[in-house]
Amino acid sequence: MPKLHTDRLLLHTLTSGEARALVAGEPLPEWSFADGYPLPDTADGAGLFLLHLDREWGVHLLVRREDGLVIGDAGFVGPPKDGAVVIGYEVVPGARRQGYATEAIGALSGWALAQPEVGEVRAHTLPDNEASIGVLLRAGFREQEAGRNVRRFALSAD
C-alpha cells in the first residue's frame, strides 16, 4: 500500500494491531485523537478490515498534517469484487465542512481506480445525509440509485 496523502492529510493505513485496539475501544499510543474520535462507526470499519486483513483494501486514519491529530477514518469495505470496491468515511464534528472528507475520498478513489482490478468505486449514504451526499458529489461520484433507505453513488475509471 503506498503512503497516501493530500495537501492537508496523511492517510495512515491501519495495521491489524491498531484495528484490534480500535475495536476494543483502546487508545493508539502512536496517535493523538481530535475531540470526538473514535467515532461511532470506527469500530465497525476496523472490524470489517479484520475480517479480510488485506491492508491494501483496509482502513486509514485521517491525520491532519497541521497538528498531527486523527480527525477521522476512511477506507474500503473489502478487496475488489467484480471490478468494484466500496468506500466509507467519517470525520469528527469539529473538522467537518472543511473539505477533509472530500480530500480523503479523492485520494483513496484515485489510488483504487489506478489498480488494474478496479473499474469502479462505490459508496452509499442515508437519503437525508446532505453533508455526505455533498462530499461524494464534490469527489466526482455520480448518483446511481436513490432508494427509500439508501442513496448509492459510484465513480468510474472512464
What does 46-105 look like in DSSP terms, one character per residue?
HHHHHHH--GGGSEEEEEETTT-EEEEEEEESSS-BTTEEEEEEEE-GGGTTSSHHHHHH
Q: Distance from CA of residue 17 to its chain's centroid? A: 19
Judged against a pLDDT cut of 80, whether residue 22 lies above it is answered with yes
**Which pLDDT score, from 0 to 100, does residue 147 have?**
79
Judged against a pLDDT cut of 90, whether residue 114 lies above it is answered with yes
pTM (whole model) above 0.85? yes
What's the rounded mean pLDDT across residues 49-72?
Answer: 96
Judged against a pLDDT cut of 90, whether residue 64 lies above it is answered with yes
Q: Distance from CA of residue 122 to its chain's centroid? A: 12
Judged against a pLDDT cut of 90, whether residue 132 lies above it is answered with yes
Q: Which amino acid would we find at residue 95?
A: A
What's the rounded mean pLDDT across residues 32-56?
Answer: 94
What's the rounded mean pLDDT across residues 15-39?
Answer: 95
Mean pLDDT of the chain: 94
Residue (of 51, 59, 80) closest to 13 by Cα position:
59
DSSP-based three-state secondary structure for 138: helix
**Which pLDDT score, from 0 to 100, does residue 145 have?**
74
- CA pair distance 53, 138, nearest whole angstrom: 30
Percent share of the chain, pLDDT over 70 = 99
